[in-house]
Amino acid sequence: MLDQLKEAGHGCPMTTAWQSWIHLENLSAYHDVPFATQENGFAGLDTELAFNGPVQVQHIAQMGEWAQEGKFVYAGRRNEGGANFRAGECALFTESSAGYAGIKAEAEFDFEVRPLPYWEGVDGAPQNTIIGGASLWVMEGHEDDEYQGVAEFLNFLSSPEIQAKWHQDTGYLPITSAAAEATREAGFYDENPGTDVAVQQMTANEPTANSKGLRLGSFDQIRGIIDEELEAVWSGDKSAEEALNSAVERGNQLLRRFESASR
Amino acid sequence: MEKRVTFQGVLLPLLLVLPQIVVTAVFFFYPAGQAIWQSLFIPDPFGLSMRFVGLGNFEFLLSDPYYRASFVTTAIFSSLVTVVSMGVALYLAVLADRLIKGSGTYRTLLIWPYAVAPAVAGVLWLFMFNTRVGVVTWYLGLLGYDWNHVLNEGEAMGLVVVASAWGRISYNFLFFLAGLQAIPKSVIEAAAIDGARFWTRFRTIVFPLLSPTTFFLLVVNVVYAFFETFGVIHTITSGGPQQATTILVYKVFADGFVGQDLGSSAAQSVILLVVVSVLTVIQFKYIERRVHY
């Protein structure tokens, strides 16, 4: 597909948003390989990064090759690629389902939503994908009636109607089955084909230790390190293996620092 | 002999400088003290507890080759921003100073960009140079040049330098223009009568007489480039590609406010503070000697 687009003279066969999240974190979960030891950090703070395994190295090496050949066009660390896709410049785009609303609103062409591709021949693929990571936190140390208010707010936010509306308007995943069911019953998925792809691929299988999510300290900085190292691959300065090894090594230093701070 | 006007007593002078002392204490000494204090701890991400590590944060930073490399990046970035913004401003000021008609309009237009916040300036330049939909990128493409600052380190540096220097040109322009207009016309006319051409006059009379302004701007611009440019970096490159535009102050911002590692961020601010203080001392010691007041 990318070959055909390139041969046809296409300037941007493929681009992506959130490269670390899609092409390393989800890649690992989807192929049921660890992103980090200790069940991706859930089992302990003494976790170490493990995304320099053969599956990840092979994938990043392939992407790097595509980047050199002009088949994969890197647009930036955040979701910059979205502008290129919505403008009709890029043919394929890997993005969070949360990008759906923007594409739907701006794209002046027909598009389809497909599940994330996976490599054949990897045992267990496709497993399931994982969420991006934004979450709400409630801190201790407030008055009881304040927590009453917090509870009411969280109840409101997670109620089926609000979640269903949120899910349908934005493309974000519904956080409860009731909201997903309400969306299905309302006929939303039939009217908007593709909007249930993200739900399906995330709930396709019972999650394993490799695919139930990530819990890593300083992860925002680690993503920054991953961005830097991946850029070295896309520009051809480093091989996939060198870059991922270096990202693991640099990230582990931050994990150790976090571990010592959290004792 | 210089004739000094002095106030009697201690109370009145103290009262008069009090507001400045209060402002400095609240907005400089207090936060700087806090930064030094925090730099000795590693707090947990929610700031609920802190663990004393002594100089551990500094050790962690200075043993990191990527952090050390960012000193070089910062030096290159700051020199370029200072030279570009001051050079262009001086050139424009010299031209505007010679104008007889319409100088007010030119001046107003040249001063405008100063009102644009760094982050907004960053977004403006990013739009123009966006690798696929940017106007400038498109024209460069017509000329056969493939602009790609998301992967090309030199281009990324160039873009953040231009975006940072742009707003600064206005500020420098104002000071240079005022400086130029304060130079007595009689001196310049005397040189002109002696047969000195414009650039000779500029080199031998105008530039030396302008040196107090130039020196002041040099100090202020270096401080600007070191401290106030993270908005531009954040909006345009986030420090990339790889680490090509990760300057010290951007790392302070990214580690502290995005990564919530306040211990490391505080230690970085302290290091930055020391670097800039040393630079300023050097400037006053060695460059100020060549300034004619």
Q: pLDDT tens across A125-155, in order? A: 899 999 886 788 898 889 999 999 999 999 9
For position A41, what pLDDT does the model report? 95
Q: Which residues of A touch B240 (CB under 8 A)?
A: 77, 227-228, 231
Q: Are residues A123 and A95 in the same domain?
A: yes
pLDDT digits (tens, 9 = 90+) for B241-289: 999 999 999 999 988 888 888 899 999 999 999 999 999 899 888 888 8
- Domain match, A15 and A76 both: yes
Evaluate if residue B167 carries a pLDDT over 90.
Answer: no
Range of the domain at A226: 2-128+204-261
| A164 and A246 assigned to the same domain | no
The stretch A237-261 carries a mean pLDDT of 94
Q: Which residues of B touch A232 (CB under 8 A)?
A: 242
pLDDT in tens, B115-129: 888 889 999 999 999
- Cα–Cα distance, B235 to B247 (Å, whole number): 14
ipTM, two decimals: 0.84
Residue B1 has pLDDT above 60, yes or no: no
pLDDT at residue A2, as a whole number: 84
Kindly write down the DSSP assignment for every residue of chain A, as one continuous string. Answer: -HHHHHHTT-S-SEEESSHHIIIIIIHHHHTT--SBHHHHTTT-TT--B-TTSHHHHHHHHHHHHHHHTTSB----SSSTHHHHHHTT--SEEE--GGGHHHHHHH--S-----PPP--TTSTT-S-------------SSS-HHHHHHHHHHHHHHHSHHHHHHHHHHH-PPPSSHHHHHHHHHTTHHHHSTTTTHHHHHHSSS---TTTS----TTHHHHHHHHHHHHHHHHTTSS-HHHHHHHHHHHHHHHHHHHHHH--
**Residue A107 included in any domain:** yes
Q: Which CATH number fits domain B63-290: 3.30.70.890, 2.30.30.100, 1.10.3720.10, 3.30.300.30?
A: 1.10.3720.10
Q: Do A234 and B151 touch (CB under 8 A)?
A: yes
Q: What's the number of domains chain A is made of?
A: 2
pLDDT band with cut points at 50, 70 and 90 for residue B8 = confident
pLDDT of residue B53: 87
pLDDT at residue A135, as a whole number: 81
Write down the pLDDT at residue B110: 87
| Residue A20 or B292, more confident | A20
Domain boundaries, chain B: 63-290
Which residue in A87, A253, A262 is closest to B133 by CB distance? A87
- All residues of chain B having their beta carbon less than 8 Å from the beta carbon of residue A83 are 130, 132-133
Give residue A226's Cα distance to chain centre: 14
- Confidence (pLDDT) at B288: 81
Question: How many beta carbons lie within 10 A of that of residue A181, not counting itself?
Answer: 13
Query: Hey, are the CB atoms on A261 and B255 less than 8 Å from each other?
Result: no
User: Is A198 domain-assigned?
Assistant: no
User: To which H or E segment does residue B12 belong?
Assistant: helix B11-24
Segment A110-129 shows an average pLDDT of 93
**For residue A97, is it within any domain?**
yes
pLDDT tens for each residue of A55-97: 999 999 999 999 999 999 999 998 889 988 998 889 999 999 9
Q: How confident is the model at residue B291 (pLDDT cuts 50, 70, 90)?
A: confident
pLDDT tens by residue, B217-249: 999 999 999 988 989 999 999 898 999 999 999
User: Is residue A250 situated within a structural domain?
Assistant: yes
Q: Which residues of B touch A227 (CB under 8 A)?
A: 238, 240
Mean pLDDT of A106-135: 90
Q: Which two tokens stand for residue B74?
A: 């910062």
The label of the residue with tokens 């267990």 reads A124
For B263, which residue in chain A has the nearest alpha carbon?
A261
- Across chain A, mean pLDDT equals 92
Is A209 found in the same domain as A124?
yes
Integer Cα distance of B60 and B57 in angstroms: 5
Nearest CA-CA distance, residue B43 and chain A, Å = 6
Say which residue the tokens 């644009």 belong to. Answer: B116
User: How long a stretch of residues is chain A?
Assistant: 263
Record: contact A78-B238, CB cut-off 8 A: yes
3-state SS, residue B159 = helix
- Residues in chain B with CB shorter than 8 Å from the CB of A221 are 254-255, 258-259, 261
Q: What 8-state DSSP symbol labels residue B41? A: E
Please, which pLDDT band fits residue B2 given cuts at 50, 70 and 90? low
CA distances from B287 to A180, B187, B214 (A): 69, 25, 11
Q: How far is CA B254 from the centre of its chain?
A: 19
Q: Is the pLDDT of residue A183 over 80?
A: yes
A86 in the same domain as A45: yes
- B7: confidence class by pLDDT, cuts 50, 70, 90: low
Instruction: Report pLDDT for A133.
Output: 66
Claim to verify: residue A183 and residue A218 sit in the same structural domain: no
* β-strand partners of B51: B42
- What is the share, in percent, of chain A residues with pLDDT greater than 90? 74
**Are A171 and A112 part of one and the same domain?**
no
Among all residues of chain B, which has the CA nearest to that of A234? B151
At B105, list the tokens: 């309009």
The pLDDT score that the predictor gives to residue B43 is 83
**Residues A33, A103: one domain?**
yes
Look at residue A20 and tell me if it is in a domain. Answer: yes
In a domain, A26, yes or no: yes
Residues A99 and A162 in one domain: no
pLDDT of the residue at B213:
93
Domain identity same for A188 and A212 = no
Chain A / chain B CB contacts < 8 angstroms: 76
Mean pLDDT of the B136-150 span: 91
User: Cβ contacts (< 8 Å) between B46 and chain A: which residues?
Assistant: 137, 139
Q: Give, as one character, the DSSP assignment of residue B280.
A: H
Calpha distance B263→B258 (Å, rounded):
13
| Percent of residues, chain B, with pLDDT higher than 90 | 61
Residue B151 forms contact with A (CB below 8 Å)? yes
Give the residue on A whose Cα is nearest the Cα of B66: A250
Cα nearest neighbour of A89 on chain B: B132
Residue A40 has pLDDT above 70, yes or no: yes
Average pLDDT over chain B, rounded to an integer = 90
Residues A77 and A171 in one domain: no
Look at residue B12 in the predicted model and tell me its pLDDT: 87
Residue to mutate among A220, A238, A246, with most B CBs inside 10 A, is: A220
